[in-house]
Amino acid sequence: MVNPMNKVTIENLSLEYSDGAESLRGINLNIPANAISVLFGPAGGGKSSLLRILNRLNDLADVKTVRGKVLIDGQNILEPGVDVIALRRKVGMVFARPVPLPLSMRANLTYGLELAGEHRAAVLAEAVERSLTQAALWDEVKDRLDEPAAALSGGQQQRLCLARVLALQPEIIMLDEPTSGLDPISTSKVEASLQKLKTQYTIILVPHSVQQAARTADYAGFFLQGELVEWAPGRAIFSTPRDKRTEDYVVGRFG
């Protein structure tokens, strides 16, 4: 039943917050491995909520009900017995605003690994270099890794946050409007990194604009008021949307 190409399978997922805020209704979705899947749509459509379900970050929020199934590699992660910590190592997340932890750059990168019990200096050093290289930041910071991460520029901070996720060697990387606060040059650096990373990882991106969605998407889903209106492979959704609502949004009639 589970297609091996599909990393994540979402079946009839519904979510409600206690305060009645943004929720999800009956989402069915297959997210393929080794591709960039873009979730786009106006604010409040449920994209961020969906991301926060995939790594169970929603456990921190005031959730009223969650129904349905979310299968990652065939395992339903919404079941009570799931090892949430292991799940979060496997499903990394980059947030809209870069949040370097108040530590040195190096400590930011090794934070997750150390929590997982990894203390071998060689392994940590390797992870630092590999992740920074993947995030296209190594050359800029390799000589000052022990300075506070807050000293970096906004664009560098966001790439550090991406590297911090990569250091854990996750399988899925989720990015929630990762370039919304960045200049065009930093944005293109991040997008270029993603194109390289998709060969090894499953990437789920909530873009900050339709243009970015169109630039990056291998698969794309349009979310409106908690519903998945349309899901399509490739960039077809941007040129020939099937649903009227998608079309209106893509051409800029609202949003």
Partner 1 sequence: MNKSVFARQLTQKIGYGLLTLLTLLTVLPILYIIGRILLQGAPAALSWEFLFTFPRDGMKAGGIWPAIVGTIYLTLGTALFSVPLGLGAAIYLSEYAPNNRWTRLIRLAIINLAGIPSVVYGLFGLGLFVLFLKLGVSILAGSLTLSIMTLPVIISTAEEALRAVPQAFRVVSISLGATKWQTIRRIVLPQALPGILTGVILGLERAAGETAPILFTAASFFLPRLPGSPLDATMALPYHLFVISTQVPGMPLRIQFGTALVLLVFVLSMNLAATVIRSRARAARQW
- Does 92 bind partner 1 (CB under 8 A)? Our answer is yes
**Which residues ranging from 26 to 45 are in contact with partner 1 (CB under 8 A)?**
none
Contact residue for partner 1 among 11, 82, 111, 125 (CB under 8 A)? 111
How would you classify the pairing of strands 227-233 and 6-17?
A: unpaired
How would you classify the pairing of strands 91-94 and 202-206?
A: unpaired
- Does 224 bind partner 1 (CB under 8 A)? Our answer is no
Distance of CA 236 to the CA centre of its chain: 22
Stretch that binds partner 1, among 22-30, 111-119, 198-206, 225-233 (CB under 8 A): 111-119
Read off φ and ψ for residue 241, nearest 5 degrees: -65, 145
Contact residue for partner 1 among 26, 42, 74, 102 (CB under 8 A)? 102
DSSP 210-252: HHHHHHH-SEEEEEETTEEEEEEETTHHHHS-SSHHHHHHHTT
Contact residue for partner 1 among 17, 66, 68, 95 (CB under 8 A)? 95
Residues in a beta bridge with 39: 221
Nearer to partner 1, 89 or 198 (CB): 89
Rounded distance between C-alpha atoms, residue 130 and residue 184, angstroms: 25
- Does 106 bind partner 1 (CB under 8 A)? Our answer is no
Rounded distance between C-alpha atoms, residue 198 and residue 233, angstroms: 15
Sequence-distant (6+) residues with CB within 8 A of 207 are 38, 40, 177, 213, 216
The site string for partner 1 over 161-200 (x = CB under 8 A, - otherwise) reads x--xx--x--------------------------------
Stretch that binds partner 1, among 5-13, 157-165, 199-207, 229-237 (CB under 8 A): 157-165
- Does 85 bind partner 1 (CB under 8 A)? Our answer is yes
Rounded distance between C-alpha atoms, residue 146 and residue 159, angstroms: 17
Contact residue for partner 1 among 21, 115, 123, 236 (CB under 8 A)? 115
Stretch that binds partner 1, among 4-12, 91-99, 131-139, 213-221 (CB under 8 A): 91-99
Sequence-distant (6+) residues with CB within 8 A of 96 are 176, 177, 178, 180, 181, 208
Q: Which residues sit at the interface with partner 1, rule CB under 8 A? A: 55, 57, 60, 85-86, 88-89, 92-93, 95, 97, 99, 101-102, 111-112, 115-116, 148, 150, 161, 164-165, 168
